Amino acid sequence: MKQTQKRIVLGVTGGVAAYKAAELTRLMIKAGWDVQVVLTQAGAAFVTPVTFQALSCNTVFTDQWDARIGNNMPHIDLSRGADAIVVAPATADLMAKVANGLCDDLLSTMIAARDCPLLVAPAMNKQMWENKPNQRNVAQLKADGVIVLGPDAGDQACGEVGMGRMLEPAAIMQALEAFFQPKLLRGKRVLITAGATFERIDAVRGITNTSSGKMGFAVARAALEAGAEVTLVAGETAQPTPFGSRRINVQSAHEMLDAVEREVAHTDIFISVAAVADYHVVNQSEHKIKKDSPTLTLELAANPDILAQVASRKYAPFCVGFAAESEKLLEHAQAKRKRKHLPLLVANLVQDAMGADDNEVILLDDAGEHRLPRAPKLEVARQLIAHLAHLYQTTLEGKQK
Ligand code: C5P
C-alpha cells in the first residue's frame, strides 16, 4: 500500500443524501483507498448494501449481531487499523448519539469503541440543523475533537432553501485529503498569484497566454492542506476555487499588482505562480476597433514585475517565484532567482507545464538544485510546500539568531 493510500470506515446514515455516499465511495476507491462501509438500518432503507459492496469491493455491514466476523465483535474489528471513520451523511440522530455516548446500533457502538479520528458530514433539513439540541450536539462533537465537515447552504431535497445540505462528495474528498496532510504551514498567511493575465486591446479583445491556472491553484490547495490561510489572486482561469481559500479575481497585471499590494503587508509567504504579461497596451480603445484600415499598430509598454517589487520591499515576505522557460531552463532560472533576490524559485519547461495536468520541476535555492519527478500538479505542489516550509523555518530561525 502506498503511503498516501488510506483505510477508511465510511458510515452511512438514513438521510436522502445517502445517495451521494455512493459517489464518495467511488472517489475514495479511485484514490486507491480501502473503504469499509457500515450502514445504519435507516441508511440501508435509502441505498442498499449491494450498491456499496459493488463500489467498495468489500462486504458491507449493517447489523451489530452480524455473525460474519470471527469473534462476533464487528464494532471493534471493523475500525481497527483504520485511518479514520467518516460518516457521510451524518443525521441529527447519529450526531446526538455520538455527542452523548449512546451505542444502540453497529455504527454508534463502533464510533464509541474507535481508536482513530472521526469526521462527520451533516445532512438535514435547515430547521433540523438549526434546532437547538442539534446545535448543542454539534458544539459538543467539536469540543470532543470530532471534525465536522460542512454543512453547506442551498437547495434542499425537502424543497426548502438554507443551511443543512451535505457537502458535495468532491468537497468531502478534498477535506479528507487535506486532513491527512502534515500541517507544515499551520496558521501561516500565504498569498498566491495564479492563472494568466489579460491585457485589454479594446472592448472585446485582449492579449493573454496559455497558462491554465492549474499549477497555482494546486499550490493554493497544497498550502491549505498544510494548514495555511490562503489568499489567491487569480487571473484568467477556469479552475474552481480551492475549498477554504479567499479568492480575489483580477484581469490585468496592474490589477494583479494592486491586489497583491493590498494584501502583502499581512503575508508571511508570497508564491508567484501567475503567468503575468510583460507588456500592456497603451493605446487601448474603449470601443470595439473596426477593421477599416489594412494595418493596426498596438503600442505596448512594460508591466511592473510584481514578484520583484514584493521581494524588494523592506519587510518582504518569504518569496517564491516560478520560471517557465522554453530553452536553457537552468541558466535562465538561476539568473532570474538572483535578479529577483528569491530564496526559492521553481523552474519548469513551458512544454511540460503550460496547460498540462502533470508537471516536472526543479527547485532552486541557496543549497542548489532539487529535481522533483514528473507527477500530477497537486503532488508537485505538495512537495514544493514541504520544501518551502522547511526553508522558511530555517530562514526564520536564522533571522532570530
Ligand atoms: O516574467 P518572468 O519569467 O521573470 O517571471 C518569473 C516569475 O516572476 C514568476 O513567478 C512570475 O509570476 C513573476 N512575474 C511577476 N510579474 C511580472 C512578470 C513575472 O510577478 N510582470
Residue 24 DSSP SS3: helix
**Ligand 1 atom having least distance to the Cα of 321:** 10
C-alpha to C-alpha distances, 294 to 202, 285, 290, 297, 397, nearest whole angstrom:
17, 17, 11, 10, 62
**Ligand 1 atom having least distance to the Cα of 274:** 12
Cell of 77: 474489528
Q: Do domains 7-179 and 189-400 have the same CATH topology?
A: yes
Q: 237: which residues sit within 8 A by CB, 6+ positions away?
A: 194, 195, 196, 211, 212, 213, 216, 217
Q: What is the pLDDT along the chain (401 residues), one digit of tens a residue?
A: 444 689 999 999 999 999 999 999 999 999 999 999 999 999 999 999 999 999 999 999 999 888 887 777 888 888 889 999 999 999 999 999 999 999 999 999 999 999 999 999 999 999 999 999 999 999 999 999 999 999 999 888 888 888 999 999 999 999 999 999 999 999 999 999 999 999 999 999 999 999 999 999 999 999 999 999 999 999 999 999 998 899 999 999 999 999 999 999 999 999 999 999 999 999 999 999 999 889 999 999 999 999 999 999 999 999 999 999 888 999 999 999 999 999 999 999 887 777 789 999 999 999 999 999 999 999 999 999 999 999 999 988 888 77
Torsion angle of alpha carbons 43, 45, 47, 53, nearest 10°?
80
Tell me which of 57, 103, 116, 158 is the catalytic residue: 158
Centre of ligand 1 from the C-alpha of residue 100, in Å:
55
**HSE-CB of 203 using CA atoms within 13 angstroms:** 5
Integer Cα distance of 380 and 217 in angstroms = 12
Q: Does residue 191's CB lie within 6 angstroms of at least one atom of ligand 1?
A: no
Pocket test for ligand 1, best of 207, 264, 307 (most atoms within 8 A of CB): 307
Scan for cell 502534515, then name that residue. Answer: 182
- Cβ pair 161, 154 in contact under 8 A: yes
Neighbouring CB atoms inside 10 A of 4's CB total 13
**Ligand 1 atom having least distance to the Cα of 309:** 20
Q: Does residue 306's CB lie within 6 angstroms of at least one atom of ligand 1?
A: yes
**Ligand 1 atom having least distance to the Cα of 277:** 21
Q: Residue 3 has what pLDDT?
A: 46
Class of the 189-400 domain? alpha beta
Q: Residue 154 has what pLDDT?
A: 86
Centre of ligand 1 from the C-alpha of residue 306, in Å:
7
Nearest protein Cα to ligand 1, atom 5: 323
Residue 360 DSSP SS3: strand
Nearest protein Cα to ligand 1, atom 6: 323
Cell of 167: 457537502
Centre of ligand 1 from the C-alpha of residue 342, in Å:
12
Distance of CA 129 to the CA centre of its chain: 26
DSSP 30-62: HTT-EEEEEE-HHHHHHS-HHHHHHHHSS--B-
- Cβ pair 344, 363 in contact under 8 A: yes
The closest of 62, 167, 85 to 123, measured between CA atoms, is 167
Neighbouring CB atoms inside 10 A of 81's CB total 12
Torsion angle of alpha carbons 47, 149, 74, 83, nearest 10°?
130
Residue type, 194: A
The closest of 68, 63, 8, 64 to 36, measured between CA atoms, is 8
Centre of ligand 1 from the C-alpha of residue 363, in Å:
16
158 catalytic residue (yes or no):
yes
Q: What homologous superfamily is domain 7-179 in, according to CATH?
A: Flavin prenyltransferase-like (3.40.50.1950)
Q: 124: which residues sit within 8 A by CB, 6+ positions away?
A: 15, 91, 92, 134, 151, 164
Q: Does residue 253's CB lie within 6 angstroms of at least one atom of ligand 1?
A: yes
> Domain-by-domain residue ranges, the chain?
7-179, 189-400
Dihedral pair phi/psi, residue 313, rounded to 5°:
-65, 155
Beta strand pairing call for 246-249 and 269-272: unpaired
Centre of ligand 1 from the C-alpha of residue 273, in Å:
8
Q: Does residue 195's CB lie within 6 angstroms of at least one atom of ligand 1?
A: no
Q: Residue 384 has what pLDDT?
A: 98
